[in-house]
Structure 1
């Protein structure tokens, strides 16, 4: 159930506990900000010495105010923090913003104190942001309880870094972006990132959410909240490159990093994942324009060959396609451009813009109108003619006026043909470029920024929506984590395996061989990398060969048990790997990719939160670098992708229903033209 944060963002009254005249103290900055809107609600300043603060009377305590306080900001030394919280609750506070540090970030004792305080706050029916935070602000309700002023706008920033908010403030300005809300997350002892995402999703004044988080807490809950927000969510996070601290006991564990998990959660939830504040700004500027399109076929349009090829490279590096235009589109372009213009893609005016600025609008209109074009990236000199200085034509010339008219015409044509359009210009602040930006066309000075912005406005082809699939109800815990116990678990769920028997001696081996025909496979059990250790022998043609292989392997390895299996036909299949890890923040995370003995060497894998529905599983497979092998190459037949996806869905559903399994892996999963067989399985209990 979503929490009511009304008292946090629109309180009836505010008190700043620890308000000070000393500019070196945080209570001074917060008090000064709180007093910016005294007419909106009562603002009380509290300083234990009383007197005046910032020229206003200061009460020596919350109780001395003599009336209820709806929200209390507490910025006092850690030793007095608990008493201040208790007094705030006794004075009726429904929300507390805890600036004070010295709790969970200091170790176990601090965490215990923090938890005790948070418990008291919740028992009182109140909410607490922090501790160890830098305050909050809500421009839509004139609530200013942070040390800095934030330009009003539609973006809610939820951040574990105060300095990041200041940098974004500077980066937002050229794009006319601003903030609806700012919340410093602090230690998230009570109000969590998930609570805030859910509340901002309901907030009419917020059009997009920007999140900087180092600690997600419940990462899966964050992904669910972002997926259902109904508004763009852009995430910047740190430490994604560190591998999991848990010792990996499978290929899946060895190949999975924190970066993979976060990226998978973002992709499933439809969150835009960025790596820098600059990229966050670029994506938010793009998303403000709306008009997201389907498909990545991009037309690059330029007024200079160099800009065109650079932009084409940047677009492809960003994941967009820049295909050659078909004859119909090229013919349409030839009808509006002059003879020397290039019309293949990139489309190059080749100097025509200097002669006739209307050609910009004509070319953009033709490209937006082409069925084979999903998006347009315009790059180069546009804007230079109308720039007040530095432009070729200079300000006030007929050329500049023509460029401005072209900009207005581009805006009209985009309205008629609503496809993503992004502009890179050497003069992004020129009048013609401002016309585009004011009309919602993102304009950037850097080519790579324009390409990244366009990827934020395009979505891949396919009907599958974003979303986090719910976890199944927990199943009875797995009692036998051995090879055959795991096979039995998966077989019961519908995952097909070849016939197999576990044996511990020659008599059992001979009996097992009599239950199904050869050729046979012999495996030594309880080895991580059986092939590397010589613990797997394939294609044993008959019982005599099987017995000989067993004697040699047992003499060398001395394993406690072995598995005798029917040999699958590998001639026309492709080996995949399917694994699921239990991540401490995001729960079960699935990995699929090219399998077999070269899994870790090739590292061609993709990730998703588990369980993975079959349509998403198929898209993961088709997105692999080696997906061409699945489609059939050099005379080999295509394999049954639908069957593979359905089995992946079964495997990940089983893993998600067994939280006691830290790692579950099927490698290889043999996919053939007419079906699927799991050839090996492994589970590691938590």
Structure 2
């Protein structure tokens, strides 16, 4: 959908170009001229014959053929202008800066659709409307500043918000981050974030394409497209980070299951990003920090050497790394003692390696060489070096640049003295380097990147299920919660182990079934949503007299239709659930079950389909994983069976899109088995 005329136009017209550079039409023209667009520039302005030294046409109909049109005119004039350009001037790319479209009114939405229809009919492409524009190594088609330094190996940046794109660039450029392209998609009338990413995937060249992509997304409109092309790019060697704005819920919504309460659309975004391998960020500074890390060699392990001439930042960085699952391992032995002899008295090489405020560039070189060659338990280095402003530090930063070229282990430079050694930092950046102003932001971002999983496997192996029986059960039931018998049939057809059970409606039947199942038994009401809240669950019922007594009490509870009887089983209470989320498909969640799910809300979610490897990753990512592993001598849960149940639920919901939400809560897990004790399934056809 993106045309070559958008990427590399030979001619550009600014419709609404002006001599007033405080107006979008004036500023975009100035940016094109100042940044030396090599092609032909035209202007359309009904009141001028020349604008900023460029020939101006009074009417678009008077223009020659033109590749790209940038419109900075009132919304009401855009449809007719586009019509003339697309149909008479062979214009195949449009950037509409103007606002006043679907973001503003129903009338604006109609104008926007009219424009899209015209451009689609001629095979063109549209960025916007209501955007700041596009810029790349060929041209600066935006009406804003800053204009970053462009480099084919720099960052590709796609933003749903023009102003936010500006602010993110302002966070990034001073660190030395360069850009290959910037797309502000505005209203995404024809082309949104997903389409730009698709284009980058389809045109990816391992020799020339940028390998770092940044996204700012306000709404995920096409999650499957985003997932497909993000995974593909990352498998090709790219690294992607994204902010998805709007992660909090503006209000609570009534939910009739634990899954419904826990599985919000933001949980779906999280699950999507994890499945794709996208690093999720929550602010501009974090995105800039992650992007800067991406521009360095990739971490191959989590053991970091902290090299510093200032104690405080080293301690804060060590805390940030350690608290986020990274390691700052001790450095010791003969090689460490040998390094110590090359430093001033009072220095320490234990890690953090502190070579004191008086430390020299030569000493820093010795430390880096030792970390590179002598200490096998080090995977990367962070060098913190600022200045109290007493003397220049060009020699240190020159040495740092040299070592970053020579070393195979990544070196991340933290240069905190952004005022005292401003000139030296600019000198460092001029060599093509990127630095980090804050050690804690670097440490937490390093950990986030390291712990973001790789994209899920392209070829998933899902467990076999009885699809014919599953479809028969669904097709023979109406919308709403399924009766216990139908739930049992679905679980059996999906291969999910469950406790023996019986649904009874009389006291005599309750006694008969309890004796068949074997005492002690559990009795639960069928009907009420939250059984335990209404006294609808009784454990450890040991004889027929107690069964009869409890049946007579429980059948009186409001909304109760029957009583469910199961054998009393033991084990760790677990939870698996699924929820259909609009556009995303089904999410499957897992965690500890019973009351723990309400209290801890410690769940992991993934988008179906899910194989057992991905399911194991979910389980091992739980904060409560220690309990599943078997904490303090307790019997562990069989993780493999638990993971297979997660995968089987994902296979079930993949076959049955009608499942709106479901809970298996609890399942009881031991070292030998995991058994579903209670299940609820709601379908919406």
- Normalised by the length of structure 2, the TM-score is 0.86
Shift of 1:518: 3.3
Whether the aligned pair in 1 keeps the contact of 2:555 and 2:562 (CA below 8 Å) is no
Change (3 A) 1:530 1:327: farther
Structure 1 unmatched runs, 5+ = 385-389
- Please state if 1:448 is matched with 2:452: no
SS of the residue 1:97 aligns to: strand
Deviations 1:201-233 (A, max 9, x none): 435353422221212211342233222223222
Residues 309 and 359 of structure 2 are in contact (CA less than 8 Å); yes or no, is this contact kept in structure 1?
no
Shift of 1:439: 7.4
Q: Which of residues 404, 407, 411 is equivalent to 2:400?
A: 407
Pick from 315, 319, 344: which aligns with 1:309? Answer: 315
Q: Is the 8 A contact 2:329 2:377 kept in 1?
A: no
Partner of 1:44: 42
Instruction: From the superposition, tell whether residues 72 and 308 of structure 1 become closer, same or farther in structure 2 (CA, over 3 Å).
Output: closer
| Aligned residue in 2 for 1:622 | 620
Maintained 8 Å contact 1:5/1:199: no
Change (3 A) 1:470 1:13: farther
Question: Is the CA contact 2:156–2:181 (under 8 Å) kept in the aligned structure 1?
Answer: yes
Q: Mean Cα displacement is larger for which, 255-264 or 212-221?
A: 255-264
Task: Using the TM superposition, give the Cα deviation of residue 312 of structure 1 relative to its aligned residue in structure 2, in angstroms.
Answer: 1.1
Whether the aligned pair in 1 keeps the contact of 2:231 and 2:455 (CA below 8 Å) is: no
**Structure-2 residue corresponding to 1:498:** 499
1: CA distance between counterparts of 2:251 and 2:449? 32
Judged with a 3 Å threshold, the aligned counterparts in structure 2 of structure 1 residues 342 and 527 are, in CA distance, closer, same or farther, namely farther
Q: Say whether the 8 Å CA contact 1:610–1:653 is kept in structure 2.
A: yes
Per-residue deviation, 1:554: 0.7
Query: Distance in 2 between the 1:636 and 1:408 partners?
Result: 52
Question: Partners in 1 of 2:36 and 2:345 — Cα distance?
Answer: 66
CA distance in structure 2 between the partners assigned to 1:355 and 1:114 by the alignment: 63
Compared CA separation, residues 111 and 426, structure 1 to 2 (3 A): closer
Q: Which residue of 1 aligns with 2:195?
A: 195
SS in 2 for 1:194: helix
- Contact 1:121–1:127 (CA under 8 A) maintained in structure 2: yes
Q: State the Cα distance separating 1:188 from its structure 2 match.
A: 1.0
Q: Deviations over 1:39-71 (max 9, x none)?
A: 733333223456443344433433322x43332
1:401, distance to aligned residue in structure 2 (A) = 8.3
Query: For 1:182 and 1:444, how far apart are their aligned partners in 2?
Result: 22
Distance 1:348 1:29, change over 3 A: closer
- Residue 507 of structure 1 and its aligned partner are, at CA, apart by 5.2
Structure 2 partner of 1:184? 184
* Superposed displacement of residue 196, structure 1: 0.5
Matches within 5 A, 1:605-644: 605-644=603-642
Unaligned runs of 5+ in 2: none
For residue 339 of structure 1, report the CA deviation from its aligned partner: 7.0
TM-score, structure 1 length as denominator? 0.86
State the shift of 1:641 in Å. Answer: 0.9
Secondary structure of 2:631's aligned partner: coil
The correspondence for 2:218, drawn from 214, 218, 222, is 214
- 8 Å contact from structure 2 (residues 20, 27) kept in 1: no
Q: Distance in 1 between matches of 2:646 and 2:422?
A: 53
What SS does the aligned partner of 1:644 have?
Answer: helix
Post-superposition shift, 1:617?
Answer: 1.6
SS at match of 1:190: coil
* CA contact 1:243–1:256 (8 Å) conserved in 2: no
Corresponding residue for residue 156 of structure 1: 156
Secondary structure, counterpart of 1:166 in structure 2 = helix
Q: 185-194 or 656-665: which moved more?
A: 656-665
User: Which one of the candidate residues 573, 576, 580 is aligned to 2:574?
Assistant: 576
Paired position in structure 2 for 1:63: 61
Tell me, yes or no, if the aligned pair for 1:241 and 1:257 is still in contact at 8 Å: no
Offset from partner CA, 1:494-519 (integer Å, 9 cap, x none): 11111223333345535544653333
Q: Is the 8 A contact 2:10 2:40 kept in 1?
A: yes
| 8 Å CA contact retained: 2:36, 2:139 | no
Structure 2 CA distance for aligned equivalents of residues 191 and 470 of structure 1: 31
**Counterpart for residue 241 of structure 2:** 234
